[in-house]
Structure 1
């Protein structure tokens, strides 16, 4: 028997509110399936399951706010027989019970979850024209999303209301995490600058014969070069939780700024194993969803080191604050043309300033310097990325 608990989506998360179950008792689920929507300070998050089996019991009710670690559901893993006692706990008539509890409400003979009804009202969706895919034909969030996608106006961004509240909550969460970081983590900083001539020349040639949608941005070179540098100096890819815990998977958190303030850090899983094209495709998907506060739980909880990339047209340097329990954050400034002396000659070259903020409990200056030098070497051989 597996206990599915309210996940932690970062050091700043203490609790979450279950908005909607996407499954019912008796449903079979597999790793990666979305089984619930949870409202947090980081917005409405799709919660994934990481086990395979059958839903035995849904414990937490829709609308209920519970602390991180609270058991939300019971899953019977594949191959395990359900005892008579366990079977008795399965809800045989989920819709009737949910109606009684008020989490699915009957409205003009339609069974509609509160979240689905709210979204339908916001987007002007006619509920009577929708066929529900939930328990016993109830209309759930997924059905509203599909209906909205068919409307031309579905491309208009919804602002205000819940998103405004989520953005404010996110700012509060960031403040809490950063205060904890400054208070508890002994930061130290290293800085270097990297000549991007070879990298940009290679990128220009790579993109020359490709359509606009298939072209790469310089940021994917920075991500892949960072991932390869971590392979050489794995000490920077770690958590500090009751001591140093090195992480095997290289899941790079990519800081995404929100239009109305705040930052979210979705993870790029196993960045070292992805090609440049795969990284570009992933960013094209991840960044819009991050700004719409529509990320999955794993995308917010699995990063092992963070990159902050200020981007074109902004400041030349960025000095980050470590996101606990990580032990390092890498800051890339704007690529700018600067004077560069080499072999007794002075020339102007495209340069990026890179800073490493590191936790001195886990990393020393020597390891930090080795990491930055490995990063610099990787960017001088873009064809090998």
Structure 2
């Protein structure tokens, strides 16, 4: 049995608002299943559970803002059975204030443990009162904003209650941009970015390196690969950049991991974050998990899916908290070179600029070839410029043999 906590979705997150429960006490859940929706400065995030079991109790009501690390629910063993009795589905959590007393078999009543700052158990699936329709608070608020009649919708939440996803499904493309699930408060997001980047520049001793890569081999291979394939099966150069970077990080693990108060912890796998610009001025960097083991076509599809979900909503908590290094690419904006700021607790940021045809020395000759500037911002507490240079050279070496990616 363990508590399900408000997750940390980045070094800049201090608290989050529980918007909606997707489960009720008594429900069985599987590892990786989305069980709640949380609102942060980055928008609405699907939060998954990291163990299988049974939801025994929910501590926090929807529309409640709580600090990172606050227990949200209790997940019991999948072998346990929640008692079927009136009111058992929603048991009271210990509220702040005087502790309750419980009798023990061997002695007098003892005080039950308290959970500071938590209110009584939430009404997860609002029960109809008379003719009042069952709907979650978030769904009622969104329906009011959109002018949607709740009575016209079928509920998919606990007890048949109408939840936020039902509104989204019904409204579809009719939702105005500001009401899309991926919407965010621009000012709040800019404040979060400012806090994170200020911390990064204050605490992380950055060093920077950059070099120009000859993309002749990669460009020729990519052209041949895409020639006879339909649009949905074609690759972009970005997929090659991500895969080459992931392989280089596997070879140089001092650039792949997290740095905290106990020092540097290299990661076992490469979960490569991708900086994505959000319409309206935001920025988010979810991770492509196990990037180094993905084939190029799978990586291309995952990358496209990640960008779409980042902009319309639907990112998962694990995608926002697991990146071991991040890539930022501003080539589509016509920028030749980008120098990133490391996203704590990571220790490296890799930047790719525009792919342009440039004059390059090839042997003793001058040739016009596609090329790109790649940069590295790295944490001097973990490594120095010698290793950083080897890392950039490894990305170059990987791109010279695209057929092996």
**Same fold per superposition (TM over 0.5):** yes
**Counterpart in the other structure of 1:120:** 143
Decide which of 332, 336, 348 is 2:368's aligned counterpart: 348
Partner secondary structure for residue 322 of structure 1: coil
Greater Cα shift, 59-68 or 326-335: 59-68
Q: Which has the higher helix share?
A: 1
Q: How does 1:295-334 map to 2 (within 5 A)?
A: 295-334=315-354
| Inter-CA distance 358–206: structure 2 relative to 1 (3 Å threshold) | same
1:31-46 pair list within 5 angstroms: 31-46=31-46
Counterpart-to-counterpart distance in 2, 1:281 and 1:351: 24
Q: Matches of 2:233 and 2:180 in 1, distance apart?
A: 36
Cα deviation for residue 307 of structure 1 reads: 0.2
Once the two structures are superposed, what CA deviation does each residue of 1:162-190 show, in whole Å capped at 9, x if it has no partner? 97752221111110000000000000011
Separation in 2, partners of 1:193, 1:267: 26
Match status 1:229 vs 2:248 = yes
Higher gyration radius (CA): 2
Unpaired segments ≥5 residues, structure 1:
none
Aligned CA distance change for structure 1 residues 107 and 253 (closer, same or farther; 3 Å):
farther
Equivalent residue runs for 1:1-385 within 5 Å = 1-79=1-79, 90-91=89-90, 108-149=131-172, 153-154=173-174, 157-159=176-178, 166-242=185-261, 243-385=263-405
CA shift at 1:279, angstroms?
0.9
- TM-score if structure 2 supplies the norm length? 0.87
Worse overlay, 1-10 or 308-317: 308-317
What are the Cα deviations for residues 330-378 of structure 1, in whole angstroms up to 9, with x where unaligned? 0000011211112211111111000000000011112111111111000
Which range is displaced more, 140-149 or 211-220? Answer: 140-149
Name the CA shift for 1:325/1:298 in 2 (closer, same or farther; >3 Å): same
The match for 2:116 is none
Please say which of residues 47-56 and 164-173 is displaced more in the overlay: 164-173
Give the C-alpha shift of residue 65 in structure 1. 0.9
Partners of 1:104 and 1:166 in 2: how far apart? 32
Contact 1:4–1:73, Cα closer than 8 Å, also in 2: yes
**Does the 8 Å CA contact 1:7/1:68 hold for their aligned counterparts?**
yes
| Cα distance in structure 2, aligned partners of 1:89 and 1:70 | 23
Distance 1:309 1:198 in 2: 20
Flag the 1:105–1:373 CA change in 2: closer, same or farther, 3 A.
Answer: farther
Give the stretch that moved more between structures: 282-291 or 120-129.
Answer: 120-129
Structure 1 distance, partners of 2:62, 2:391, is: 46
TM-score, with length taken from structure 1: 0.91
Give the Cα separation in 1 of the matches to 2:139 and 2:303.
29
- SS state of the match for residue 46, structure 2? strand
1:197–1:126 CA distance, 2 compared to 1 (3 A)? same
Equivalent residues, number: 375
- Aligned mates of 2:91, 2:57 — CA distance in 1: 10
Q: Is the 8 A contact 1:57 1:89 kept in 2?
A: no
- Checking the alignment, whether the CA contact within 8 Å between 2:44 and 2:181 is kept in structure 1 is no
Gaps of 5+ in 2: 93-120
